[in-house]
């Protein structure tokens, strides 16, 4: 399959790279890292990266704005996206061929070619591994190494999560050999505004525990976001907070979006939680998933399902 993918990439003059909505560092790292690699390997080709992005991720580079006509003879590559409804920019199906590269469970197989490896930490690690193989002509660059490294750091929680393997460290070490300010970028990614810091205080004051004490949840309404002058994309700093409480095995952050839909960031230290997310317009990894809720009742259902998953895991 890899040989077919590399041959297909070589054959197309226009390549358009997509990833999922509301991108995290791995989505952007794999997308922009691949763009930099393909531009260095094939300087004569038209290589584009598309999708929406907010200012907090600007260090990954700017997205391209391209007309529909660009897809007429294009190869489309979708990174880090388990299912088609989550693809950012729905023009992905306007190309000639489609390739899927991902590390989420393959619950929605798609594309003419695909590599899906749920055992690897991130799509950034997957692409870096491919590029470092000696039997292809793909060229790693400083910019690509920066993007892939930040993607790996993001999806491993700075190498704290149990999806971090010896191979992950080996690839990260190879990437660090390139010229980019890793320490500066890591420090910047750990910096927050005063408003974000104050939101963390609000979260710690308002975390709710289930009767078992194993599941924590917190709800951030639009009114609270407005009070602190933040939008939903600026709440990334609270994701891990509930998991820092002793005894908590799974947790969910409920963030109300301007549309009224409630974004659910679900995490776990052991219980399998992607099966819960899949019931609520979402999915992801066994211990890190996302979903959407549409009412307070659905939020309560998610918490109850997480509590059952935690109790089942304990037994």
Confidence of residue 191 (pLDDT cuts 50, 70, 90): confident
Q: What DSSP character marks residue 64? A: P
Contacts of 209 by beta carbon, 8 Å cutoff, 6+ apart: 215, 216, 245, 248
Which tokens hold the place of 42? 């094939």
Closest C-alpha among 254, 284, 253, 250 to residue 26: 284
For range 261-289, the mean pLDDT: 94
- What pTM was estimated for this model as a whole? 0.88
How do residues 67-104 score in pLDDT, each as one tens digit? Answer: 999 999 999 999 999 999 999 999 999 999 999 999 99
Tell the CATH topology of 194-314. Diaminopimelate Epimerase; Chain A, domain 1 (3.10.310)
pLDDT of amino acid 50? 98
Average pLDDT over residues 178-188: 93
Confidence grade of residue 315 (pLDDT, cut at 50, 70, 90): low
Percentage of the chain modeled with pLDDT above 70: 100
Could you read off the pLDDT of 52-65 as tens digits, one per residue?
987 778 899 999 99
**191-196: average pLDDT:** 93
Residue 218 pLDDT level (bands cut at 50, 70, 90) = very high
Q: How far apart (Å, rounded) are the C-alpha atoms in residues 283 and 40?
A: 34
Instruction: Tell me which residue of 296, 271, 266 sits closest to 282, measured CA to CA.
Output: 266
Q: How many CB atoms lie within 10 A of CB 216?
A: 25
In this structure, is the dihedral angle defined by the CA atoms of residues 115, 121, 124 and 128, taken in order, positive or negative?
negative
- The per-residue pLDDT of the chain, averaged, comes to 95
Q: CA dist 189 to 26, 158, 192, 266, Å?
A: 13, 11, 8, 21
Share of the chain above pLDDT 90, in %: 89
CA 37 to CA 142: how far, in whole Å?
Answer: 10
Residue spans of the domains in the chain: they are 2-189, 194-314
Residue whose C-alpha is closest to residue 20's, from 43, 50, 54, 57: 50
pLDDT for residue 272 is more than 80: yes
For residue 190, is pLDDT > 90?
Answer: no
List pLDDT tens digits, range 251-270: 999 999 999 999 999 999 99
Q: What is the pLDDT of residue 299?
A: 98
Residue 292 has pLDDT above 90, yes or no: yes
According to DSSP, residue 248 is labeled: -
Q: What residues have CB less than 8 Å from 220, skipping those under 6 apart? A: 199, 202, 203, 235, 238, 253, 254, 255, 256
CATH architecture classification, 2-189: Alpha-Beta Complex (3.90)
């Amino acid at each position: 399959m890899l040989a077919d993918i590399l041959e297909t990439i070589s054959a197309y003059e226009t390549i358009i790279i997509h990833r999922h909505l509301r991108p995290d560092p791995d989505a952007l790292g794999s997308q922009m890292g691949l763009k930099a690699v393909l531009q260095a390997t094939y300087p004569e080709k038209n290589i584009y990266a598309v999708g929406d992005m907010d200012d907090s991720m600007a260090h990954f580079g700017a997205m391209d704005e391209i007309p529909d006509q660009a897809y007429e003879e294009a190869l489309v590559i979708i990174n880090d996206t388990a299912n088609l409804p989550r693809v950012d920019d729905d023009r992905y199906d306007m190309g000639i061929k489609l390739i899927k590269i991902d590390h989420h469970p393959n619950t929605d197989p798609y594309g003419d070619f695909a590599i899906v490896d749920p055992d690897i930490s991130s799509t950034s690690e997957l692409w870096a591994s491919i590029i470092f193989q000696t039997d292809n002509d793909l060229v790693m660059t400083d910019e690509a190494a920066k993007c892939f490294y930040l993607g790996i750091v993001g999806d491993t929680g700075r190498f704290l999560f149990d999806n971090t393997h010896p191979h992950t460290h080996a690839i990260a070490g190879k990437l660090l050999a390139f010229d980019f300010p890793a320490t500066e970028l890591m420090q910047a990614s750990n910096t927050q505004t005063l408003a974000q810091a104050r939101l963390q205080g609000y979260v710690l004051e308002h975390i709710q525990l289930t009767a078992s004490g194993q599941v924590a949840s917190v709800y951030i309404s639009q009114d609270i976001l407005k009070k602190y002058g933040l939008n939903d994309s600026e709440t990334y700093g609270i994701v891990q907070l509930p998991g820092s409480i002793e005894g908590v095995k799974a947790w969910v952050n409920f963030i109300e979006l301007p549309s009224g839909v409630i974004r659910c960031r679900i995490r776990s230290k052991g219980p399998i939680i992607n099966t819960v997310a899949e019931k609520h317009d979402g999915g992801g990894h066994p211990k890190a998933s996302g979903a959407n809720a549409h009412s307070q009742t659905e939020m309560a259902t998610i918490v109850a399902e997480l509590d059952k998953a935690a109790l089942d895991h304990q037994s």
